[in-house]
């Protein structure tokens, strides 16, 4: 088959301060498609992932992951179809999961790819419910949060790709009560009616501390934090003795230009003997096979439900990313490219 000559790809051209500006900080550029050499594959991407952690990579500040390079294609999770292979074990037509997203075509070493099958699950799910966000939820709740049957669980950002799965896993594992927060009445309704949360509240409708206290009058044992700020302060106030907090993200602070105030009740950590632990999914890939087996079975049985927000077209990737930061997605935010 004839291979394409050019690929469109998103470059970071200036590091954002505060909220990224799609005109100022990003550029969609064209580059030649490179034929694979020995050990490489050429892939046409079908789905691209946009995730909160990518905002951190746009900064030059030292972090747990290398910053995006300026005037180079950005990186992110993607699923694509192999167009040409010079690598053993990969053939034309195979679908693969890899991290060369934010572009239409990618040529890279095959050792960076994992084969996936649409016969087992829809291709999009390998970037969401069966992918990195799903494993984040699974490991964060069960290992970092040390969840045990009978625990009361609070999840912030609960309608997102990670939070929605945390709440459902907690229910399936025997939580006594699962509470979620979200940014709209529509999302609150979704959490209760579709995902099976016991209760949920719209954090924009009043102080989080007061709404959480009303939702969990007997306190909470595990808090899965996707938001930080007032949510973390509220959770500390409602935590029972020996409660656990798994800190996955603090999206409320990602675009802040001034230091944000820490929770004002940190002293309660001592009195309540709380444990707070940060969560990076890369530390927990030893759980991958267990996660796929257990969560895959729940998906097939219909016990675990998921939503995806799909934006069409490579040209809309930056807008999809910003929409995800604003909370415009329900479930996993994805960009779909023509097959």
Helices 288-301 and 163-172, interaxial angle, to 10°? 80
Q: Is the pLDDT of residue 58 over 80?
A: yes
Gap between the Cα atoms of 12 and 71, Å rounded: 6
Q: Is the pLDDT of residue 313 over 70?
A: yes
Residue 186 CB: number of other CB atoms within 10 A? Answer: 11
Gap between the Cα atoms of 7 and 48, Å rounded: 14
- Paired with 76 in beta bridges are 100
Gap between the Cα atoms of 195 and 193, Å rounded: 6
Average pLDDT over residues 248-258: 76
Nearest to 208 by CA among 163, 157, 164, 243: 157
Place of tokens 């004002």: 264
In this structure, what token pair is assigned to residue 285?
A: 């890939």
Q: How high is the pLDDT of residue 180?
A: 98
In this structure, what token pair is assigned to residue 236?
A: 């500390």
Percent of all residues in the chain with a pLDDT value above 70, rounded to a whole number: 99
Q: How confident is the model at residue 143 (pLDDT cuts 50, 70, 90)?
A: very high
Output DSSP code: residue 283. G
Q: Are 281 and 139 in contact (CB under 8 A)?
A: yes
Distances (CA, A) of 320 to 48, 146, 264, 335: 10, 33, 34, 7
Q: How confident is the model at residue 2 (pLDDT cuts 50, 70, 90)?
A: confident
Q: How high is the pLDDT of residue 251?
A: 78
Q: Is the pLDDT of residue 255 over 80?
A: no
Q: How confident is the model at residue 1 (pLDDT cuts 50, 70, 90)?
A: low
Q: How confident is the model at residue 262 (pLDDT cuts 50, 70, 90)?
A: confident
Q: Which CATH superfamily is domain 6-128+307-336 in?
A: Medium-chain alcohol dehydrogenases, catalytic domain (3.90.180.10)
Q: Is the pLDDT of residue 39 over 90?
A: yes
Sorted by sequence, the CB contacts under 8 Å of residue 4 that are 6+ apart come out as: 33, 44, 104, 105
Q: How high is the pLDDT of residue 289?
A: 87
Q: Is the pLDDT of residue 257 over 80?
A: no
Q: How confident is the model at residue 234 (pLDDT cuts 50, 70, 90)?
A: very high
Length of the chain: 339
Domain boundaries, the chain: 6-128+307-336, 132-282
Q: How high is the pLDDT of residue 305?
A: 95
Q: Is the pLDDT of residue 68 over 80?
A: yes
Average pLDDT over residues 231-255: 92
Place of tokens 């709380």: 274
Kind and range of the H or E run holding 300? helix 288-301
Q: Tell me if residue 252 falls in helix, strand or coil.
A: helix
| CATH number of the 132-282 domain | 3.40.50.720
Gap between the Cα atoms of 181 and 185, Å rounded: 10
Q: What is the pLDDT of residues 104-138, one digit of tens each?
A: 999 999 999 999 988 888 999 999 999 999 999 99
Q: How confident is the model at residue 256 (pLDDT cuts 50, 70, 90)?
A: low
Q: Angle at Cα 228 formed by Cα 330 and Cα 48, nearest 5°?
A: 40
Q: What is the pLDDT of residues 205-227, one digit of tens each?
A: 999 999 999 999 999 999 999 99
Gap between the Cα atoms of 95 and 117, Å rounded: 7
Q: What is the pLDDT of residues 267-312, one digit of tens each?
A: 999 999 999 999 999 999 999 889 989 998 999 899 999 999 999 9
Sorted by sequence, the CB contacts under 8 Å of residue 290 that are 6+ apart come out as: none
């Amino acid at each position: 088959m004839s291979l394409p000559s050019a690929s469109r790809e998103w470059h970071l051209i200036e590091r954002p301060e505060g909220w990224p500006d799609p005109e100022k900080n990003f550029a969609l550029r064209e580059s030649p498609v490179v034929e694979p050499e020995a050990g490489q594959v050429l892939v046409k991407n079908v789905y691209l992932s946009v995730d909160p952690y990518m905002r951190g990579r746009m900064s030059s500040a030292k972090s747990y992951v290398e910053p995006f390079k300026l005037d180079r294609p950005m990186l992110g999770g993607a699923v694509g179809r192999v167009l040409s292979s010079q690598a053993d074990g990969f053939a034309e037509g195979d679908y693969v999961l890899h991290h060369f997203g934010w572009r239409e075509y990618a040529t890279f070493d095959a050792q960076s790819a994992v084969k996936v099958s649409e016969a087992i699950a829809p291709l999009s799910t390998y970037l969401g419910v069966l992918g990195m966000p799903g494993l984040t939820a699974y490991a964060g709740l069960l290992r970092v949060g040390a969840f045990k049957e009978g625990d009361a669980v609070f999840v912030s950002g609960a309608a997102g790709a990670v939070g929605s799965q945390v709440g459902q896993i907690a229910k399936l594992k025997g939580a006594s009560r699962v509470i979620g927060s979200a940014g709209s009445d529509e999302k609150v309704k979704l959490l209760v009616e579709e995902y099976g949360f016991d209760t949920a509240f719209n954090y924009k409708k009043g102080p989080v501390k007061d709404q959480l206290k009303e939702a969990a009058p007997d306190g909470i044992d595990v808090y899965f934090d996707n938001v930080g700020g007032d949510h973390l302060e509220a959770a500390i106030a409602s935590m029972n003795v020996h409660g656990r907090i798994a800190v996955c993200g603090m999206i409320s602070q990602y675009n802040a230009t001034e230091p944000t105030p820490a929770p004002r009740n940190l002293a309660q950590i001592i009195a309540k003997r709380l444990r707070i632990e940060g969560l990076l999914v890369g530390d927990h890939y030893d759980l991958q096979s267990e996660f796929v087996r257990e969560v895959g079975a729940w998906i097939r049985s219909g016990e675990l439900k998921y939503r995806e927000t799909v934006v069409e077209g490579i040209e809309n990737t930056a807008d999809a990313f910003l929409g995800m930061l604003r909370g415009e997605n329900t479930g996993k935010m994805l960009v779909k490219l023509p097959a």
